[in-house]
Amino acid sequence: MVTQSEIESIVKFEEADPHRVLGPKGSAPGGDQYASVRAYLPRARTAWLEVRGGDKVEMRRVAGSGFFEGGPVGREYKLGYEDGSGHTIVRSDPYSFPPTLGETDLYLMGEGKYYGAFDKMGAHLTSVGGVPGVSFAVWAPNARSVAVVGGFNHWTVGENPMRSMGSSGVWELFVPGLEEGEVYKYAIKNRDTGEVKQKADPYAFAMEVRPRTGSVVADLEKHAWSDRGWMEEERKEQLARPMSIYEVHAASWKRSEGGRPLTYGELARELVPYVKGMGFTHVELMPVMEHPLDDSWGYQVGSYFAPTSRHGTPAEFMAFVDECHKNGVGVILDWVPAHFPKDDYSLGLFDGTHLYEHADPRLGVHPDWGTYIFNYGRNEVRSFLVSNALFWLEKYHADGLRMDAVASMLYLDYSRKDGEWLPNRNGGRESLEAVAFLRETADVVHSRSPGAVLIAEESTAWPGVTAPSGAGGLGFDLKWNMGWMHDTLDYFSKDPLYRKHHHNQLTFSLWYAFSERFVLVLSHDEVVYGKGSMLSKMPGDEWQKFANLRLFYGYMFAHPGKKLLFMGDEAGQAGEWDFRGAADLEGGGRLRDGLRRFVRDLNRAYMEEEPLHALDFQEGGFEWLDFQDYKNSVISFVRKGRGGGMVMVVCNMTPVPRHGYRIGVPRRGRYEEILNSDAEAYGGSGVGNLGGADSEPTPMHGRADSLALTLPPLGVLYLRVPRR
């Protein structure tokens, strides 16, 4: 017989092992029946056990509570009850099933090596013993008790208590009969105070549309992928190929006629052909992981395993990625393991303690953003984050992750004053735990997802960001070149009259261009918060602004490193980015049409001319012709390919056309002009070299031969160097 203390442990939501109290108990004489079945049905008027053939065994209410007991009953039975509204419910008994996690899962979780945690943790549509339903698993080691609540139990706390899996801190329960689309949360009882809070599932595959915060059961296997060739071939070679990345905020790239953000399906139909038509090789999405606040642009993630429901379902996002790959466009996702918001439904104080974050605010609270910082030294937190990186690469076929705010992870004193931070065990300012986490992430990703790229937004001089972890580096594949971005933007924002005094800002980046594998970026951060659009940063009248911008992009695409432009930059958008609106991508007349045409042709040249990308990370791929003509603000250099091909690049940073401008060249012969930013088709004045120029045996710049070129005003020239 059930004891009063057992009943109270369930009714008062105190039981850590509800399967000990609930479900089938003992064997009746003969061994083919259970002696009794216990159930907690707080909403039931009456209850019974239903066996094959429709026979019913009445269950009796125990001690006037919602606790019922009945039997004996056959091994195959279901629970039946009538609720307070007169509805009849018949279902399998959740407490008749074995655990859905094994010892290996729990061991790996505790060791911080549970890289496939998303396969078991969270909510999974599955079958146990041939019975379909949903298995739930959550990590809450300091909770007194945990239950899953949702529409299926009318959000009744304690009706479906979960089973503690011992010292692992994991709680699990299989609930039969649940289907995709079920909304749920975890009710977690504080061990010390007894307070119960409802928390979203950290491993949820889908979430309700804001401002609702429920987790949603989702089927990640329903999309039939068609990109096998891409995953096995193109993705594995992407780092060795041209990378021209189009950075996009999905909610504000374009809006529907009613002003709402586009769905994933609409983005597949409109964004993908646009990116392909403009010649970009990749689209980089600002965080699509579910986030509660639009104003955060996605950088304060509330649910790490769920694509935002603002645009649709997980299957629809998969279809978007698939469509990108069908069109030869790679997909990079922004990823934010640096911090997370304090929203009460989310990760913070998850089981009533500082579980995912540090307890000490000098380690656990970000001073700039008012967010929590992950505790990278905790094994289960590392499992959560590393498995999350793999999740987007494996389940959603992303081609890479751009890790946000890496500098804030690396330094314990980041944005902190003296006394506001704690040194590491060696007395230093480096976060040893974050460094170990970054290296582990890189090693696991490169081992399990060959070809996937990891990109660091790291704004300091931390050494070896893109060096292998085994050589003391962090293991990233690429690093945003923030130094180049700041220096070059500052240079191009100056009146050409004064550029000669700042010539070193243009040339300094080549001193360190090969110290890391860099991406040259003109990101969203440069066109927001009053900084204006890229076009508005350029000096001069309207014509000069567009000429400057074409020159800037031409210089950028010739400079060693991969490339990134933010949406709207390619179209000469006049105003700065507003996440509440939409990018201004169309119209604008001759100059804007010309800029878009120039960016398309720039991408094509970058793709087709092997010297412009083949040796991006090697000093042998770049050679100055002349960088000393600061008086005229002219620079010239060559980019070299693997097979001896070269492209010569000349930039005139002033609005003065220069005729007969002589530059020493590496080879004799005909130099074909393959791109001129001042062409009339781009909105320029049409000054150029009529398709090319022939070298002359006139020594210049330490070379036996030279070219006499016409340099267009505020223009860049690409010339194909003759083969030997």
pLDDT in tens, 276-332: 999 999 999 999 999 999 999 999 999 999 999 999 999 999 999 999 999 999 999
Reduced to 3 states, what is the DSSP secondary structure of residue 258? Answer: coil
447: tokens are 């081992």
CB 289 within 8 A of CB 303: yes
Q: Nearest CA to 605 among 557, 571, 642? A: 557
Q: Nearest CA to 516 among 462, 555, 469? A: 462
Banded model confidence at residue 2, pLDDT cuts 50, 70, 90: confident
The domain over range 103-216 is classified in CATH as 3.40.50.300 = no
pLDDT in tens, 478-502: 999 999 999 999 999 999 999 999 9
**What's the CATH architecture for 619-720?**
Sandwich (2.60)
* CA separation, residue 180 to residues 152, 470, 666 (Å): 12, 43, 65
CB 334 within 8 A of CB 402: yes
CB 333 within 8 A of CB 247: no
Minimum mean pLDDT among 45-54, 425-434, 538-547: which range? 45-54
Q: Where are the alpha helices (DSSP H) in 449-570?
A: 482-492, 503-507, 534-537, 542-558
Mean pLDDT computed over 215-236: 95
Tokens 């509570």, residue located:
65
Question: What was the pLDDT predicted at 57?
Answer: 95
The ranges assigned to domains in the chain are 4-96, 103-216, 243-480, 619-720
506 vs 496: CA distance, rounded Å: 13
Alpha carbons within 13 A on the beta-carbon side of 320:
29
Query: Which of 284, 404, 487, 678 is an active site residue?
Result: 404
Query: What Rg do the C-alpha atoms of the chain give, in angstroms?
Result: 31
Q: Which helix (H) or strand (E) holds 640?
A: strand 634-640
Mean pLDDT computed over 697-715: 97
Mean pLDDT computed over 420-440: 96
Report the interhelical angle of 482-492 vs 542-558 (nearest 10°).
Answer: 150
Mean pLDDT, rounded, of the chain: 96
In the chain, % helix, strand, coil (3-state, to 5) comes to 30, 30, 45
pLDDT in tens, 98-153: 999 999 999 999 999 999 999 999 999 999 999 999 999 999 999 999 999 999 99
pLDDT in tens, 396-410: 999 999 999 999 999
440 vs 175: CA distance, rounded Å: 35
pLDDT in tens, 317-376: 999 999 999 999 999 999 999 999 999 999 999 999 999 999 999 999 999 999 999 999
Q: Is the pLDDT of residue 385 over 90?
A: yes
- CATH number, domain 4-96, options 2.170.150.70, 2.40.170.20, 2.60.40.10, 3.30.70.360: 2.60.40.10
Question: What was the pLDDT predicted at 30?
Answer: 73
Partnered with residue 262 across adjacent β-strands are none
Phi, psi of 692, rounded to the nearest 5 degrees: 160, -175
Q: Which residues contact 419 (CB under 8 A, 6 or more apart)?
A: none
Mean pLDDT computed over 423-449: 97
pTM above 0.75, yes or no: yes
673 vs 666: CA distance, rounded Å: 16
- Give the whole-number percent of the chain exceeding pLDDT 90: 95
Partnered with residue 356 across adjacent β-strands are none
CB 140 within 8 A of CB 186: yes
Phi, psi of 680, rounded to the nearest 5 degrees: -60, -30
443 vs 451: CA distance, rounded Å: 12
The domain over range 243-480 is classified in CATH as 3.20.20.80 = yes
Mean pLDDT computed over 50-77: 90
Question: What was the pLDDT predicted at 79?
Answer: 96
Give ∠ CA 385-390-395 in degrees, rounded to 5.
Answer: 125
652: tokens are 């005139």
CB 292 within 8 A of CB 347: no
Report the interhelical angle of 314-326 vs 264-278 (nearest 10°).
Answer: 20
Q: Which helix (H) or strand (E) holds 38?
A: strand 33-40
CB 265 within 8 A of CB 302: no
724 vs 720: CA distance, rounded Å: 12
Task: Categorise residue 380: left if φ over 0, alpha if ψ from -120 to 50, beta otherwise.
Answer: alpha
Query: Which of 399, 433, 457, 477 is an active site residue?
Result: 457
Q: Is the pLDDT of residue 1 over 80?
A: no
Q: Is 404 an annotated catalytic residue? A: yes
Q: How far is CA 278 from the centre of its chain?
A: 23
Banded model confidence at residue 29, pLDDT cuts 50, 70, 90: confident
CB 687 within 8 A of CB 713: yes
Partnered with residue 197 across adjacent β-strands are 188
Question: What was the pLDDT predicted at 690?
Answer: 94
Question: What was the pLDDT predicted at 724?
Answer: 81
Cβ neighbour number for residue 643 with a 10 Å cutoff: 9
Cβ neighbour number for residue 523 with a 10 Å cutoff: 21
Reduced to 3 states, what is the DSSP secondary structure of residue 706? Answer: strand
Question: What was the pLDDT predicted at 84?
Answer: 82
CATH topology of 243-480 equal to that of 619-720? no
Q: Is 490 an annotated catalytic residue? A: no
